[in-house]
């Protein structure tokens, strides 16, 4: 059986990736984020698309001690011979609370426009989405943050860049209006977090919501390298992973 793919092909003296000559067209000419875009869209990004995507990935690459980084450190503590396992452990926590919400925001927005098209204006559509999700018991993704209140500084910066680069489109406008109405209903300011903004901007970049989380995972994989490097620099005995493990042991009661 012969399997075929348009993604990569090699011959003795050349390698082709997405139809481009790897050594002549890609290496030294595009960024890693551009390669991710190429994989998702099957074309190289424009200059503005490249700038926007790189900004989005940098924004979520690192955020201190999160379940991802803690999992990576503890896994590295137990298996320092397997760096890939430590990175993989950190990526397994990309879900509804950390990183994953960007996919659900993009899905919410893209499906709303698919369902209703231009039938309603942005204010009406925002109200419909809020009411539909409330009636079905679904939360609004992309809102709230344990630290950044009332504003996530990453959100502000990313929307500034999207405005400059031409990606402040209907999806971003809809999310901002949902935010306004949601805060009005709650009677207080609820943070529109970075992954919410990223989901909307990626939707405006016409990236299918089903691959949006993949970009988050790729970005966080890069960030986790720093946590492994810091474990190495501290040494096993004084590593943060070891300190975390010691703390857990000291505060755990064993019952026989």
pLDDT, tens digit (0-9, with 9 covering 90-100), for 69-115: 999 999 999 999 999 999 999 999 887 777 779 999 999 999 999 99
CA distance 179 to 185: 10
List pLDDT tens digits, range 53-72. Answer: 999 999 999 988 888 999 99
Token digits of residue 41? 């869209």
CA distance 28 to 22: 10
Which strands make up the sheet holding 8-11, listed edge to edge? 8-11, 14-17, 20-21
- The angle formed by the CA atoms of residues 101, 106 and 111, to the nearest 5 degrees, is 125
pLDDT at residue number 250: 87
CA distance 211 to 194: 17
pLDDT at position 119 over 90: no
pLDDT at residue number 77: 96
Q: Which residue, among 214, 239, 219, 125, has the nearest Cα to 173 in the 3D structure?
A: 125
CATH of domain 45-64+95-235: 1.10.230.10
Q: Is the pTM of this model over 0.75?
A: yes
First to last CA, the chain: 57
pLDDT at position 126 over 80: yes
Average pLDDT over residues 123-137: 95
pLDDT at residue number 254: 64
Q: How many CB atoms lie under 10 A from the CB of residue 24?
A: 11
Q: How confident is the model at residue 185 (pLDDT cuts 50, 70, 90)?
A: very high
Average pLDDT over residues 189-213: 96
The dihedrals phi and psi of 227, each to the nearest 5 degrees, come to -70, -35
Mean pLDDT of the chain, nearest integer: 93
The H-or-E segment that residue 15 falls in is strand 14-17
Average pLDDT over residues 147-158: 93
User: Is the bond preceding 73 in cis, omega lying within 30 degrees of 0?
Assistant: no
The H-or-E segment that residue 134 falls in is helix 122-136
> Looking at residue 150, what DSSP letter applies?
S
The dihedrals phi and psi of 253, each to the nearest 5 degrees, come to -95, 125
pLDDT at position 228 over 80: yes
CA distance 193 to 116: 26
pLDDT at residue number 4: 82
pLDDT at residue number 166: 97
Token digits of residue 117? 């098209």
Q: How confident is the model at residue 255 (pLDDT cuts 50, 70, 90)?
A: low
> Can you name the residues that pair with 20 across neighbouring β-strands?
17
């Amino acid at each position: 059986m012969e399997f075929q793919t348009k993604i990569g092909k090699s011959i003795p003296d050349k390698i082709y990736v997405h139809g481009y000559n790897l050594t002549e067209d890609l290496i030294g000419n595009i960024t890693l984020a551009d390669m991710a875009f190429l994989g998702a869209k099957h074309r190289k990004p424009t200059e503005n698309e490249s700038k926007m995507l790189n900004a989005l990935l940098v924004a979520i690459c690192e955020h201190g001690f999160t379940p991802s980084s803690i999992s990576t450190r503890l896994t590295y503590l137990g298996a320092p011979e397997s760096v890939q396992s430590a990175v993989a452990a950190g990526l397994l926590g990309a879900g509804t609370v950390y990183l994953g919400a960007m996919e659900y925001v993009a899905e919410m927005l893209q499906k709303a426009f698919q369902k209703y098209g231009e039938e309603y204006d942005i204010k009406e559509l925002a109200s419909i989405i809020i009411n539909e999700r409330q009636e079905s018991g679904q939360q609004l993704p992309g809102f709230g943050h344990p630290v950044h209140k009332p504003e996530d500084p990453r959100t502000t910066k990313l929307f500034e860049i999207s405005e400059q680069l031409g990606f402040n489109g209907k999806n971003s406008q809809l999310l901002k209006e949902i935010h306004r109405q949601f805060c009005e209903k709650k009677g207080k300011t609820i943070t529109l977090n970075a992954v919410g903004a990223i989901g909307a901007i990626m939707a405006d970049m016409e990236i299918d919501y089903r691959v949006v989380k993949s970009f988050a995972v790729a970005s966080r994989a890069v960030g986790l390298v720093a946590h492994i490097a810091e474990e190495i620099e501290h040494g096993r005995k004084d590593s943060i992973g070891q300190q975390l493990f010691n703390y857990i042991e000291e505060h755990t009661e064993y019952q026989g």
